[in-house]
Structure 1
Amino acid sequence: MSVLDAVLAFAVVAGLLALVPGLDTALVLRSTLTRTRPYAWATALGVASGAMVWGVAAAAGVSALLAASEVAYRLLTAAGAVYMIWLGASMLVRSFRRTPGAPEAADAAPPAADSPWRGWLTGAGTNLLNPKVGVFYIATIPQFLPEGTSPLLMGALLAAVHGALTVAWFGVLITGGRWARRWLASPRVMRGIDRVTGLVLIGFGVALAVDAVPSRG
């Protein structure tokens, strides 16, 4: 298998994965509908950055070491669970604190909340604290490493392909979402989006928390 063959084959797998709705998709859609365009793009790039780190780690063997250590895996899973539950709960609390019937300006997020840097941190943090992303790379990247190539460089290349496909798909969502925002730009709808996204995040966090608990027997 040549490098080109490996990249094309991996692109098919990564492309299908990018299309599957999940936590990352929910975050980007929420950013698109409730925040600014730079914030939404920064969130998408944060998700891609997290995937890039996991891909390089898998190629370097760090993720494999993590998978081999049950304690390390469970600690990272617990950290991810706490982060996602906190993020989701924050969205819920913020949505209920908004005063019903208040002017739209009162529902607008403060400038600091719309910072692209904050959007990037949210996307990257959510991805990096989800060990299941690392497990995906551990399972797939070794299958696409041609003989004679550097595992680290090839892993970085494959992760970059995955990141590029993910950002491209999120670009479609952001473009379509910004158009839809004109029809959904109601304080009540925005609060609803925050609540739904918050519940999704809490659901993912609880699922991770369950994974972090050692099974008995």
Structure 2
Amino acid sequence: MMVAGNVAEQRSMLSFLAFIGTSIIVIVTPGPDTATTIRSTLLAGRTGGICTAAGIAVGQTVWALATSVGLAALLVASAPLFLIIKYLGAAYLIYLGMLALYEALWPPEQSLGIAVGHHPHGRLSPWIAFRQGLVSDLGNPKMAVFFTSLLPQFAPTGGSTFSSLLALGIVFAGMTFLWLAFYAAAVHKVRGALQRPTVRRLIEGATGMVLIALGLRIATEQR
């Protein structure tokens, strides 16, 4: 009995370590979450980036909860509902991209002749930064597909499926927050050099095009 228990614990530990390794690969791969966090950091500094990262992590926790109770599986199985969320999420990313392009082409601080750091419209409030991260993540139905396909593979057998899936999802969301918060801190360190008008406009334009491209990819790709 004790040997069997030790074997089960070892298998659970190996499964958890495999989950951590897989999660790291997924999390560090650039995507909509990274682009949204970078833009928030450029507009509102480290606080803005961290608030966006927190919104993304909360969104992932919601997806984890939906996966645990079976709602995410129903969403994946329902083609009309899946398409609605997919198109809404893609439209939101495209909207953020268009907003970034607009600010790149017509920066408000130039027309007013004041510095970016003191221009209120060139910054995001913490709540708006959080909301952008939350909405962009909840509007990505690929998270439902990802969680419903990934989490059950690493859930330990014999335990509560609900608690196991939710715990893994929370761990994934926590890792995502730490990575994006680190990303925000790194971008913030060089933010001063990036705030020169020409450089900032180039970065805003590039970020806008990336967000639009990501939105179009989400809207057009198959499950």
Fold conserved between structures, TM > 0.5: yes
CA contact (8 A) 2:43 2:122 kept: no
Return closer, same or farther for 1:108/1:88 CA change in 2, 3 Å cut-off.
farther
CA contact (8 A) 2:116 2:195 kept: no
Partner of 2:51: 42
Partner of 1:27: 36
Match of residue 142, structure 1, among 146, 152, 162: 152
Q: Is 2:109 the partner of 1:96? A: no
5 Å-filtered alignment, 1:102-121, equals 103-105=113-115, 109-110=119-120, 113-121=123-131
CA contact (8 A) 2:33 2:133 kept: yes
CA contact (8 A) 1:104 1:187 kept: no
Partner of 1:166: 176
Q: Which amino acid aligns with 2:60?
A: A
Moved more, 176-185 or 99-108: 99-108
> Aligned equivalents of 1:11 and 1:206: distance in 2?
30
> Aligned equivalents of 1:104 and 1:62: distance in 2?
49
CA contact (8 A) 1:107 1:187 kept: no
Q: TM-score, normalised on structure 1?
A: 0.87
Match of residue 15, structure 1, among 1, 18, 24: 24
Q: Which amino acid aligns with 1:27?
A: T
CA RMSD of aligned residues (A): 2.4
CA contact (8 A) 2:49 2:181 kept: no
Deviation at 1:43, TM superposition (A): 0.5
Match of residue 59, structure 1, among 65, 68, 82: 68
Q: Which amino acid aligns with 2:52?
A: T
Aligned length: 213
Query: Deviation digits for residues 102-135 of structure 1, max 9, x if unmatched?
Result: 6442575526942111111111111110111111
Partner of 1:74: 83
- Bigger relative contact order, structure 1 or 2, given CA contacts below 8 A and separation 6+? 1
Structure 1 gaps, min length 5: 213-217
The structure having more radius of gyration, on CA atoms, is 2
Structure 2 gaps, min length 5: 1-7
Using the aligned pairs only, state the percent identity.
33
> Aligned equivalents of 1:23 and 1:143: distance in 2?
25
Match of residue 202, structure 1, among 195, 198, 212: 212
Q: TM-score, normalised on structure 2?
A: 0.85
Return closer, same or farther for 1:112/1:187 CA change in 2, 3 Å cut-off.
closer
Runs of at least 4 residues of structure 1 off by over 6 A?
Answer: none
> Aligned equivalents of 1:191 and 1:108: distance in 2?
17
